[in-house]
Structure 1
Amino acid sequence: MSLLVVITDDHPVVRSGYKRLLSLESDIEVITEFDNGEDTYNWFQDHAADVLIMDISMPGVGGLETLKRLRAKKINTKIIMLSMHDNPTLIQQALDFGANGFLSKSSEPDELINAISYVMNDEVVISKDLQGLLGANDGALHEQLSAREFGILLKLAEGVSAKDIAAQFHLSPKTIYNYQTQIYKKLAIENGAQLTQYAIQNKLLKSN
C-alpha cells in the first residue's frame, strides 16, 4: 500500500519538482498539494495523509504556525519541514512544535526520499548540512517570540507592510501593530531598520 503524501509550498515550480521526484517511487503517492498553510490546515480537518511536506516560509499563515495548529488538533501525520533558512532557531522551533523532520531545500533529492522512510519509522530527521547548527543560537532574543510573532517578524524584516501582513494573517492592522510593538520590546530594538538588521545578523531572512 502506498504512503499518502501532501505537499505544501507557495512556489508552483517547487511543488511540481517534489511531486515529480516522489512519483518515481512506487510506494509513494502525492494525493494533493497546497500553496498556503491555511488551506493545508483546513484540508486536514476532514482528510488524512501519512506525510506532510511543508515549506516553513509562506505568505499568510506560515509553516511553523500551521505545524503548531495541526499538532494542537492532534493531527498525527508525519510532518517534514522544508526551508531555505539555515537558522538553528527555526529548526529548534519546528522540532519543539512537533515536526518529525527538517530539511534544507538544497538537500539532495534522495535525502527527501530517505527522510520519508525515516519519519515513518518514528525517527527524527535533520538535513546533514543543518545538523551542526542545533544549539548554535542558544540565548538569541528571538527565541522568546511566539510562532505568530516570529512569523510577523519575518514579514516585517522582508519589508512587507503591516496592512499586507494583516491581510495575509486575517488580522486587523491594529493587531499587527500591537504584535510589532511586542516584537520590538522583546528584541530590544526601536524601529524597522534595526529589525531588518537584526534579522540579517541572525540569518533569519531567505538567501537570494
Structure 2
Amino acid sequence: MKIIIVDDDAMVYESLQLLFSREEDIQVVGTADNGREAVKACEDTQPDAVLMDIQMPEMDGIQATREIKKHWPKVRVMMLTTFEDEQNIRLALLAGAEGYLLKSAPVEDMAQQLRALVSGSSVLNADVLMRLTQPEKKELESLTAREQEILQLVAQGCSNKEISSQLFVSEGTVRNVISIILDKLEVRDRTQLALYYWRRT
C-alpha cells in the first residue's frame, strides 16, 4: 500500500513515517506540508491513500481532498486532525474523505485503520461518529439563561431591536451578549448561530 502523509507539522509526519516503516505492507511515497503540495504529490506518486491534516497554509485539507477526489477518485483519503467539531467532520466527508481520525487516537491502530480504508471500508473515530449521530447539547447548556434566551430569539429571526424590545434591555446589551454567544459556541455569524441552535434542539 502506497500512502502520502500531509501535515504542516514536521514532527507529525516524521513520527508517522517512523511508525509506518515498521509495517511491511505500507510504503510512505511522499509527504507534504500543505494541500497544494498534497495534490501535486498525488499526481506524482498515485498513492492508494492519503493521511490528510485539515488546517494548513496555502490550501487546507478539505480543499485538497476535494481536488484529489475530483482527479483521482480511487485514492482513499483519511483525515487525521485535532478538529472534532461537527462542521469540519461534515465538510471533510462531503469533500470525499472516507475516514476521519483524531490525532489523539492510539497510533498503534492507525496502520490497521489504513488497511481497512484501502480495502473499501469507511473509518470513523468513535468520538467523531458520536458527534455525527448525537450532536452534543452541552455547549448550549454552558450558556447563561439570558444568553439562551437571546440565542432562541436570534434563531427565530428577531432583529437586535426586536430582542431589545421583548427583553427590556438596550440594543447595545443585545449586541454584546450575541458577541459572547458567538465566541462561546465558536460560530461566525447570526446565520450560523441559528443553524447551530436548530440542530441541537
TM range (shorter): 0.5 to 0.7
Give the match for residue 29 of structure 2. Answer: 31
Q: TM-score, normalised by structure 1?
A: 0.64
Identity of aligned residues (%): 23
Please say if 1:112 is aligned against 2:96. Answer: no
CA contact (8 A) 2:49 2:76 kept: yes
How far apart are 1:75 and its partner, in Å? 3.7
Question: 1-side partners of 2:120 and 2:72: how far apart?
Answer: 16
Please say if 1:201 is aligned against 2:185. Answer: yes
How far apart are 1:198 and its partner, in Å? 3.2
Please say if 1:93 is aligned against 2:91. Answer: yes
CA contact (8 A) 1:85 1:203 kept: no
Question: Residues 129-148 of structure 1: matches in 2 within 5 Å?
Answer: 129-136=127-134
How far apart are 1:102 and its partner, in Å? 0.3
Give the match for residue 154 of structure 1. Answer: none
Question: 2-side partners of 1:135 and 1:10: how far apart?
Answer: 30
- Kindly name which structure, 1 or 2, has the bigger radius of gyration based on alpha carbons: 2
Cα distance, 1:37–1:200 mapped onto 2, change above 3 Å: farther
Q: TM-score, normalised by structure 2?
A: 0.66
Cα distance, 1:108–1:64 mapped onto 2, change above 3 Å: same
Question: 1-side partners of 2:3 and 2:67: how far apart?
Answer: 19
Q: Can you give the 5+ residue segments of structure 1 that lack an aligned partner in the other structure?
A: 139-187
Question: 1-side partners of 2:181 and 2:43: how far apart?
Answer: 39
Question: Residues 164-179 of structure 1: matches in 2 within 5 Å?
Answer: none
Question: 1-side partners of 2:102 and 2:95: how far apart?
Answer: 18
Task: Find the residue that maps to 1:45 and give its secondary structure.
Answer: helix
Work out which of the residue numbers 79, 82, 87 in structure 1 matches 2:80.
Answer: 82
How far apart are 1:95 and its partner, in Å? 1.4
Question: Which residue identity does 1:78 align to in structure 2?
Answer: R
How far apart are 1:199 and its partner, in Å? 6.2
Structure 1 vs Structure 2 CA RMSD: 2.6
Work out which of the residue numbers 41, 44, 59 in structure 2 matches 1:43.
Answer: 41
Give the match for residue 124 of structure 1. Answer: 122
Question: Which residue identity does 1:58 align to in structure 2?
Answer: M
Question: 2-side partners of 1:199 and 1:122: how far apart?
Answer: 39
Question: 1-side partners of 2:135 and 2:116: how far apart?
Answer: 26
Q: Which has the higher contact order (CA 8 A, sep 6+)?
A: 1
Task: Find the residue that maps to 1:60 and give its secondary structure.
Answer: coil
Question: 1-side partners of 2:46 and 2:181: how far apart?
Answer: 41
How far apart are 1:84 and its partner, in Å? 0.5
Identify the structure with the greater helix proportion: 2
User: How many pairs are equivalent?
Assistant: 149
